[in-house]
Amino acid sequence: MRVKLTLAYDGTDFHGWQLQKNSNTIQGIMEQALEKICSMPIRIHGSGRTDSGTHALGQVAHFDPPSDRSDIPWQKALNSILPTSIRVIKARITDENFHARFSCISKTYSYTLWTEPDFLYPQRRHFVWQTGRVDLHLMEQAAKHLLGKQNFKSFMNKGTAVNSTCREIFSYSFDPGLYPQELVFRIKADGFLKQMVRNIMGALADIGRKKYPPDYMAWLIRLKNRKNASATAPAKGLCLEKVEYPGHID
Amino acid sequence: MRVKLTLAYDGTDFHGWQLQKNSNTIQGIMEQALEKICSMPIRIHGSGRTDSGTHALGQVAHFDPPSDRSDIPWQKALNSILPTSIRVIKARITDENFHARFSCISKTYSYTLWTEPDFLYPQRRHFVWQTGRVDLHLMEQAAKHLLGKQNFKSFMNKGTAVNSTCREIFSYSFDPGLYPQELVFRIKADGFLKQMVRNIMGALADIGRKKYPPDYMAWLIRLKNRKNASATAPAKGLCLEKVEYPGHID
């Protein structure tokens, strides 16, 4: 039996998704909760890592419970044990061929900017990056260069081995945020390289603040080199919103 | 010289507004910051207290700086010292007759409910009360009874001496919140008794969850007794949004 979970978390106090010794990670906390319910160690597989401080509204993970625990109401059982900084939004039995990471066909992230330079509402301080004013029109012109299947090596930080640095960006949008001072950049792709969204955001913010013209984005993509690119945007503005799978195994 | 400040804070980690010995309060932190800038103790006067865990987007306070500090850019100076959980949204020189508490003519609070019973986004856990589903129509019928100048003794918790338990409620509204699962109750009055909004919200939630009919609100007001009334709603859903003053001294 395989269970698919949809998870939301406030990443502020966690050292990211991935299990680490002596560190408070989301995967670690999830596995502790599952071990408590199942009375045995259970491995949980996420759709991918999220960085320390990065949030999720729709992370997806799967695990295989022991057969004597097959009728547990997983959402209720897990939410009663987990800290309130992690919530199970949905839990259901899924196809045995489903794999949270390998079956994934797209991911959507949001990145939220706070555009007011003089103050930042404390209620939002863990969820936005305060860039001050940005020129949306310039950022929109720059973002056009991102679409399609391309080599995004200039936007990959080191530390994870990958077969290819090509990814396909399906779509993006600039949307209003929760408060009028917010601007949300949403981006959907078949997958993302290490800190790719934060690196794209770093470049977009430099363009929005007129440090570089919109064509800087095209130049950066052609460069295929992280060196000399804009700095990585802070983790706290980033949120994994949605992970999608093909209908037949979902 | 008198300075008027508009403040926003995340009340989660504070023991409310009011100065207390050995306690982390917003007034206490503000006075520490002012003492640092002015090199002498400075008293700050808020428009009123907020409870431990209650938030603000538009709390107002005033203080009188020493004459040799008259040209300080207060917003910048304070925000550079204050923790990011408190922000100065606006600072300006005001009339010497202005008093944050005594000149106040109206206050507006919001109270946010989270109406989804099965999960609560962790990002919102410090800012909403998870009531589960409520019937908005019943709550709207009940809230009509609140309007006008009335004796709100049934909604006052003990602990603060007052001359009168009469207050005038000018208006209220039920609005969409930041997420689709949220319902925001806004209420504006010439002033509020101790924990009055939280006590009104407790009654409205009982009505929305069909524990009592809408007329319960009228019955409660007539009762003029806190005993047997609905429980006080949690502090974390409450936010002081706006404090208003007469134009001629503001």
pLDDT in tens, A99-157: 999 999 999 999 999 999 999 999 999 999 999 999 999 999 999 999 999 999 999 99
Whether residues B235 and B156 share a domain: the answer is yes
Q: Which residues of chain B have pLDDT under 50?
A: none
Whether residues A82 and A111 share a domain: the answer is no
Q: CB neighbours of A79 closer than 8 A, spacing ≥ 6?
A: A87, A88, B118, B119
Nearest CA in chain B to A116: B89
Q: What is the ipTM of this complex?
A: 0.92
Among A167-171, A245-249, B72-76, whose mean pLDDT is lowest? A245-249
Whether residues B131 and B195 share a domain: the answer is yes
B71 assigned to active site? no
Whether residues A77 and A136 share a domain: the answer is no
Domain end among B94, B122, B152: B94
Question: What is the b/e burial string over A86-122, where b = at least 16 CB atoms within 10 angstroms of the residue's CB?
Answer: bbbbebeebeeebbbeebbeebbbbbbbbbbeebbbb
Structural domain harbouring B47 = 2-94
Q: How many CB atoms lie within 10 A of CB A167?
A: 20
Each residue of A182-241: pLDDT tens digit? 999 999 999 999 999 999 999 999 999 999 999 999 999 999 999 989 999 999 999 999
Q: What does the pLDDT read at residue B119?
A: 96
Structural domain contains residue B250? no
Of A79, A118, A123, the CB nearest to B10: A123
Chain A positions touching B89 (Cβ under 8 A) are: 119
CATH code of the domain in which B193 resides: 3.30.70.660
Whether residues B182 and B110 share a domain: the answer is yes
Does B84 sit within 8 Å of A122, measured CB to CB? Answer: yes
Whether residues A167 and A196 share a domain: the answer is yes
Q: What does the pLDDT read at residue A250?
A: 80
Domain end among B50, B72, B94: B94
Whether residues A232 and A203 share a domain: the answer is yes
Structural domain contains residue B99? no
Structural domain contains residue B37? yes
Would you say A134 and A205 are in contact if contact means Cβ atoms under 8 Å apart?
Answer: yes
Whether residues B69 and B134 share a domain: the answer is no
Whether residues B84 and B117 share a domain: the answer is no
Whether residues A11 and A115 share a domain: the answer is no
Q: What does the pLDDT read at residue A249?
A: 81
Chain B positions touching A89 (Cβ under 8 A) are: 119
Q: What does the pLDDT read at residue A14?
A: 97
Interface of B with A (CB under 8 A): 8-10, 55, 57, 75, 79, 84-89, 118-123, 125, 127, 178
In this structure, what token pair is assigned to residue A226? 């992280």
Whether residues B32 and B110 share a domain: the answer is no
CATH code of the domain in which B19 resides: 3.30.70.580
Cα angle at B244 between B240 and B247, to 5 degrees? Answer: 165
Whether residues A66 and A182 share a domain: the answer is no
Structural domain contains residue B249? no
In this structure, what token pair is assigned to residue A116? 């007011």
How many domains, chain B?
2
Domain end among A33, A64, A94: A94
Q: What does the pLDDT read at residue A159?
A: 85
Does A57 sit within 8 Å of B119, measured CB to CB? Answer: no
Residue B174: exposure state from Cβ atoms within 10 A (0-12, 13-18, ≥19)? middle
Structural domain contains residue B100? no
